[in-house]
Structure 1
Amino acid sequence: MPEYKAPLREIKFVLDEVLDMPSHYANLPAYADVATPDMVDAIINEGAKFCENVLSPLNRGGDIEGCTRHDDASVTTPTGFKEAYKQYVEGGWPSMTHSEDVGGQGLPESLGTVVSEMIGTANWSWGMYPGLSHGAMNTISVWGTPEQKEEYLTKLVSGEWTGTMCLTEPHCGSDLGILKTKAEPNADGSYAISGTKIFISAGEHDMADNIVHIVLARLPGAPEGTKGISLFIVPKFNVEGGEVADRNGVTCGSIEHKMGIHGNATCVMNFDGAKGFLIGPENKGLNAMFTFMNTARIGTAIQGVAAAEGSFQGALAYAKDRLAMRSLSGPKAPEKAADPIIVHPDVRKMLLTQKAFAEAGRAMVYLTTQQNDIVHKGEDEAARKEADELLGFLTPIAKAFITETGFEAANHGVQVFGGHGFIAEWGMEQIVRDTRISMLYEGTTGIQALDLLGRKVLSTQGQSLKGFTKLVHKFCKEEADNAELAHLIAPLAELNKEWGDLTMKIGMTAMNDREEVGSASVDYLMYSGYVTFAYLWAKMAKAAQVALAAGTTEEAFYNAKLTTARFYFTRILPRTKGHAATMLAGADTLMDLDAEHFAF
């Protein structure tokens, strides 16, 4: 099983040298005094210790043992999970990024993302328990009444209680307009919630005193479709005076038998007249839910980074140790029976692909949460608007592309191990199984692609795309005379222009046939992801160049950045050509075959 080691130097490189987070925090008054360089370092270092020493050792056991549902509908989590959560709460981790008026520490969301990445790489299944709570807290914080915040938010922030998101039903996933769960008004102003939800992560467990479910349901007489959905707070135990009271009418009907993430209880949840409380306006549940979903989608993007990083760490250690054959250019370890497999070009290609995806994915996730800081704590209205538009554009790319590349990296990890990668005790196949869900939940890759191309780009006449491509154009213009990075800047500038040209072509064809949007969307998203990673790799290469010119003592570290950037541009970025051709191939190649002719 790979022994997780937090990549602290890599994390600090992105934070300090690529995104200049120290200046970012200093320029936001809400964070200037709390997110000092010393405080940021201390939090990241302590988080690393917790992840390496507490969570990582539980990862394999959690996968083997899984969760157990008992006859009384209670659920027991794997050995050690509950104790680890207690340490997590005692360390103050749940409250880190929440406001002080509800018991939080007032630290930046972006800093919490760094900790979430380490938690996810060390033990993704365990990390989902507090991860779901984070979205519930954000939803109540934005949409809850003062009374609801006092009743629920403070206990969620402290970590005494956890939260969930209950959206999916047996007959509807992404198409929430057809959900059936009902909310009948009670005389006391509450609502009786009845229905069944499926795929509910952390829906029932033994780690906290109460679970606060955020539930989508329909009021009597509500409009059909998505316009008639409301959002409700439904606690596992009813609450009186801020304390747990009697059991509510919500129970775990079963635990899903899943491909991976066995350590997390993914539940079928039955609501039998459970007492719930409206959060946000009636029939505006989707508006409130997107507060949760945007948090969840960035959180899922972290899983892609975690998969790439974790599989890279395991594969790299194995490739340095495993002996097989001799290098084609002559023995590299003549004193041994064979050379370590890291000398072989194909193994190098897989390792470099993992490394390139992990490091660019990390930079992209941190960039999105940097924008999130500005949206919520910026004092300049224009800056907040610009950050919000950039965040909205990047979120579907981050969620879908980083999880797709994370899964690819995880598969490379298995391949580097050869036959041993197929054996469970090495831990590499678990990463593949655990991360496969990331391209499905919180909106599949196809759903994210439609959101990107349809809602974010074409419906704004390309304005959201221009907001990002202007950043890329500005960077390329600033570095146009940088001869040492010309092999990166020139192709990036060319692709940045092509991005706009491709968008216009798709938009023109879509005016005559809306199926063209669906036909092109996934390739468009993947193309967008590869170009975004190229921009981030060029920025990382520039940061490395600056450090080397300043006479750093870490020449090997920074030269590795330049080499990996060159690898990405020459070996991975050409994939954009295939996606460009495919997205323009036309919807007829997909739609001309009648459904009944899909025969077997």
Structure 2
Amino acid sequence: MAKNFFNKRNVNFLLYEVHKAEDLAQHGYFSDHNRETFDMTIDAATQIAENLMFPFLKEVDKNQPELKDGKVKVHPAIRNYLKAVGESGIIGADFSYENGGAQMPMTITSTVGYILMAANNGMMYTGLTAGAARLIANFGSDELKAKYIDNMISGKWQGTMCLTEPQAGSSLSDITSSAEPLEDGTYKIRGQKIFISAGDHDATENIIHLFLARIKGAPKGTKGISLFVVPKYHADGTENDITSMGIYHKMGQKGVPAMHLGFGDNADNCIGFLVGEPNKGLSYMFQMMNEARIGVGLTGAAITSAAYYAALEYAKERPQSRRLNLKTALDTPQIPIIQHPDVKRMLLFQKSVVEGSLSLLLETSRYFDLAEASDDPEEKENAHLLLELLTPIAKTFPCEYGMKAISDAVQCFGGYGFTEDFPVEQYYRDVRITPIYEGTTGIQSQDLLGRKVTLAGGKTLQLLAQEFGKTITAASAYDELKKYANLLQENASRLQAVTKHLLEIAGTGDIEKFLSDATLYMEMFSLNVVAWQWLKQAIVAKQALLTGTGNNDEEEFYESKIHTMKYFFHYELPKTLGLATRLTDTEVLTIMTEREVVM
């Protein structure tokens, strides 16, 4: 078992030195907080992670949830974790005082989520509960708020999001679940939902489903979808008509039951409560989905972090062979494999993905906080637009590149990495779902290219260009970083040219051609954004080195930041050249034609 699953020094560096989390306390909404309260929250999460989560990583994976006699039983460690995280106030820490929270910035709660998921992503329960409770807080009636929020954010009740149906995966316009209004203002719910994470289990006293359905007579498509609260147990303790029809047997994240649920199948007496107004359910749910997309990105980065530190520890301890230039000196001792260039390359890739992803996620979370709390209307609007633009990237890059990074972590272990004796085989399984959760990579990519780059008349791209420009200007002041500032500028210009080319195709009305390679565009865009994040880190590190810390460990930390930035610019960013070539190629090979090519 590895000793570490995240690096606290790196977390503090990104939070306080790069993204200036303390500055958020200058806004009235966060004014009760400071570095001390932020650190107390992070320390509480770290203790829970170290004591109640990380030690059970293997056990939770091996002892999967079981469905017996209609009830789901999960590993007992999950109940202890949920109790501790609920009592600590972490689940609702970023909720308003009015809704029982601590008005903590999302920048801090994102950090907390990263630490918890790095410890044991098989305990992925609380993010769902927080998201469901926030929907009720934002759109529910006072009665629903009073009835549900406190018990949810205290960890007593679990929250879920019930979207997917057997015949309608990501295509929510095709859902058939129905809601029939009753005289008392409640609704009779019918339908089936699949892949519902934490959809039933015995670690909490109740399960609160946020359920999408059509009220009878509602318009077809997404315009006719409403949102309902559907509890497993009613206020009087009686059980609602919800059936656990089965548990999906998953490749990874086995500690969290993925349920097939039936609503109203037994007595046609499943009762739900409307959230907000009829036919506005999907717009409400998108709030939870966007928040969850950042959460999934954090999960991808967190699992990758745990795998990286396991591989790093192994590479420092595992002796094998000799330096290539000393291959014939068999009388010399073997060297740790970290000294082999190919192994070091793989470790640098993992480090660049983990720390670049976390920086991007904290940047995105900071925009969320400014969009919520800033008193400056212009800053508020700009932060909202940048949040919209970066969310699909913050969801996608840590997950897609996290898979690649963990594959390299397995490779670092050699044959041992393929065995259950080391944790990386589990991390490899666990991370695979993250590019699928909350909208697949293809969906995120179409959202980025098809909607986000043209949002507000293209203002989103202008704002991001301004942020890039600030970083490029700051980096250009240092001789060591000037080269990388120029590289980022060149790549940003290339991305702009590719975007212009694709938007011209969109202008012809051929949307299928426009979006056919959206996933490749996402990768090109992501590499630029993460390079920007790495240059931001390098600027702070360079400033610290010039100031002089007088501490060897600190100097090594900052030097490592600059070295990893250089790795990303020399090894990963050049991939954009090939992507740009494909994205501007006039030959289209993936669109269905009248004479379909046999695959």
Question: Equivalents in 1 of 2:107, 2:208: separation in Å?
Answer: 24
Contact 2:87 2:154 in 1 (8 A): no
Deviates more, 1:257-266 or 1:495-504: 495-504
Say yes or no: does 1:41 pair with 2:33.
no
Residue aligned with 1:405, SS: helix
| Aligned equivalent of 1:259 | 251
Question: Equivalents in 2 of 1:336, 1:197: separation in Å?
Answer: 63
Q: Name the amino acid aligned to 1:28.
A: H
Map Cα deviations across residues 1-20 of structure 1 (whole Å, 9 max, x no partner): 33334411000000111111
Query: Which runs of 5 or more structure 1 residues have no equivalent in the other structure?
Result: none
| Aligned equivalent of 1:50 | 48
Question: Equivalents in 1 of 2:306, 2:387: separation in Å?
Answer: 26
Q: Following TM superposition, by how much is the alpha carbon of 1:153 offset from its aligned partner in structure 2, in angstroms? A: 1.2
Q: Name the amino acid aligned to 2:32.
A: D
Question: Equivalents in 1 of 2:295, 2:329: separation in Å?
Answer: 43
| Aligned equivalent of 1:388 | 384
| Aligned equivalent of 2:470 | 474
Question: Equivalents in 2 of 1:381, 1:55: separation in Å?
Answer: 42
Q: Following TM superposition, by how much is the alpha carbon of 1:307 offset from its aligned partner in structure 2, in angstroms? A: 2.3
| Aligned equivalent of 2:62 | 64
Match of 2:182 among 186, 198, 203: 186
Q: Name the amino acid aligned to 1:569.
A: F
Change (3 A) 1:595 1:111: farther
Say yes or no: does 1:21 pair with 2:21.
yes
Change (3 A) 1:388 1:170: same
Residue aligned with 1:207, SS: coil
Say yes or no: does 1:555 pair with 2:555.
yes
Segments of 4+ moved more than 6 angstroms: 331-336
Q: Name the amino acid aligned to 2:150.
A: T
Residue aligned with 1:338, SS: coil
| Aligned equivalent of 1:117 | 114
| Aligned equivalent of 1:97 | 94
Residue aligned with 1:329, SS: helix
Contact 1:139 1:289 in 2 (8 A): yes
Residue aligned with 2:324, SS: coil
Map Cα deviations across residues 235-270 of structure 1 (whole Å, 9 max, x no partner): 110125xxxx21011121110011111100110011
Say yes or no: does 1:534 pair with 2:527.
no
- The 5-angstrom pairing of residues 274-423 of structure 1 reads 274-330=270-326, 337-423=333-419
CA RMSD of aligned residues (A): 1.8
Q: Name the amino acid aligned to 2:255.
A: G
Say yes or no: does 1:169 pair with 2:169.
no
Map Cα deviations across residues 203-231 of structure 1 (whole Å, 9 max, x no partner): 00111111110000001111111111100
| Aligned equivalent of 2:495 | 499
Question: Equivalents in 2 of 1:471, 1:444: separation in Å?
Answer: 28
- The 5-angstrom pairing of residues 505-516 of structure 1 reads 505-512=501-508, 513-516=510-513
Say yes or no: does 1:212 pair with 2:208.
yes
Contact 2:364 2:391 in 1 (8 A): yes
Say yes or no: does 1:88 pair with 2:85.
yes
Contact 2:198 2:256 in 1 (8 A): yes
Q: Name the amino acid aligned to 1:9.
A: R
Say yes or no: does 1:2 pair with 2:2.
yes
Residue aligned with 2:101, SS: coil
Residue aligned with 1:591, SS: coil
Question: Equivalents in 2 of 1:334, 1:43: separation in Å?
Answer: 53
| Aligned equivalent of 1:30 | 29
Map Cα deviations across residues 246-297 of structure 1 (whole Å, 9 max, x no partner): 1011121110011111100110011014110110211111110011101110
Question: Equivalents in 1 of 2:73, 2:332: separation in Å?
Answer: 49
Contact 2:6 2:306 in 1 (8 A): no
Q: Name the amino acid aligned to 1:563.
A: H
Deviates more, 1:102-111 or 1:339-348: 102-111
Residue aligned with 2:103, SS: coil
Q: TM-score, normalised by structure 1?
A: 0.95
Q: Following TM superposition, by how much is the alpha carbon of 1:597 offset from its aligned partner in structure 2, in angstroms? A: 3.1
Question: Equivalents in 2 of 1:69, 1:40: separation in Å?
Answer: 40
Question: Equivalents in 2 of 1:239, 1:598: separation in Å?
Answer: 58
Map Cα deviations across residues 407-427 of structure 1 (whole Å, 9 max, x no partner): 111111111111111101211
Deviates more, 1:516-525 or 1:554-563: 516-525
Say yes or no: does 1:227 pair with 2:223.
yes
Q: Name the amino acid aligned to 1:412.
A: D
Contact 2:494 2:580 in 1 (8 A): no
Q: Name the amino acid aligned to 1:533.
A: V
Question: Equivalents in 2 of 1:365, 1:111: separation in Å?
Answer: 11
Map Cα deviations across residues 355-376 of structure 1 (whole Å, 9 max, x no partner): 0000010001111111111122
Change (3 A) 1:332 1:268: farther
Q: Following TM superposition, by how much is the alpha carbon of 1:103 offset from its aligned partner in structure 2, in angstroms? A: 2.2
Residue aligned with 1:462, SS: helix
Contact 2:292 2:438 in 1 (8 A): yes
Question: Equivalents in 2 of 1:192, 1:12: separation in Å?
Answer: 50
Contact 1:198 1:267 in 2 (8 A): yes
Query: Which runs of 5 or more structure 2 residues have no equivalent in the other structure?
Result: none
- The 5-angstrom pairing of residues 560-599 of structure 1 reads 560-586=560-586, 588-591=588-591, 596-599=596-599
Contact 2:304 2:350 in 1 (8 A): yes
Q: Following TM superposition, by how much is the alpha carbon of 1:333 offset from its aligned partner in structure 2, in angstroms? A: 11
Map Cα deviations across residues 49-81 of structure 1 (whole Å, 9 max, x no partner): 21122100111111111101111x111112422
Contact 2:162 2:196 in 1 (8 A): yes
Residue aligned with 2:433, SS: helix
- The 5-angstrom pairing of residues 141-152 of structure 1 reads 141-152=137-148
Q: Following TM superposition, by how much is the alpha carbon of 1:382 offset from its aligned partner in structure 2, in angstroms? A: 1.8
Contact 2:304 2:402 in 1 (8 A): yes
| Aligned equivalent of 2:522 | 525
Change (3 A) 1:193 1:586: farther
Question: Equivalents in 1 of 2:564, 2:6: separation in Å?
Answer: 20
Change (3 A) 1:448 1:189: same
Question: Equivalents in 1 of 2:10, 2:330: separation in Å?
Answer: 33
Deviates more, 1:441-450 or 1:95-104: 95-104
Question: Equivalents in 2 of 1:170, 1:463: separation in Å?
Answer: 39
Q: Following TM superposition, by how much is the alpha carbon of 1:336 offset from its aligned partner in structure 2, in angstroms? A: 7.0
Residue aligned with 1:63, SS: helix
Change (3 A) 1:514 1:586: farther
Q: Following TM superposition, by how much is the alpha carbon of 1:45 offset from its aligned partner in structure 2, in angstroms? A: 2.0
Map Cα deviations across residues 484-518 of structure 1 (whole Å, 9 max, x no partner): 20121000011112221111111112222222222
| Aligned equivalent of 1:424 | 420
| Aligned equivalent of 2:442 | 446
Q: Following TM superposition, by how much is the alpha carbon of 1:596 offset from its aligned partner in structure 2, in angstroms? A: 4.8
Contact 2:374 2:380 in 1 (8 A): yes
Q: Following TM superposition, by how much is the alpha carbon of 1:398 offset from its aligned partner in structure 2, in angstroms? A: 0.9
Q: What percent of counterpart residues are identical? A: 37
Contact 1:4 1:52 in 2 (8 A): no
Aligned residues: 591
| Aligned equivalent of 1:269 | 261
Q: Name the amino acid aligned to 2:292.
A: A
Question: Equivalents in 1 of 2:164, 2:416: separation in Å?
Answer: 37
Q: Following TM superposition, by how much is the alpha carbon of 1:459 offset from its aligned partner in structure 2, in angstroms? A: 5.7
Q: Name the amino acid aligned to 1:197.
A: K
Question: Equivalents in 1 of 2:555, 2:477: separation in Å?
Answer: 23
Contact 1:251 1:270 in 2 (8 A): yes
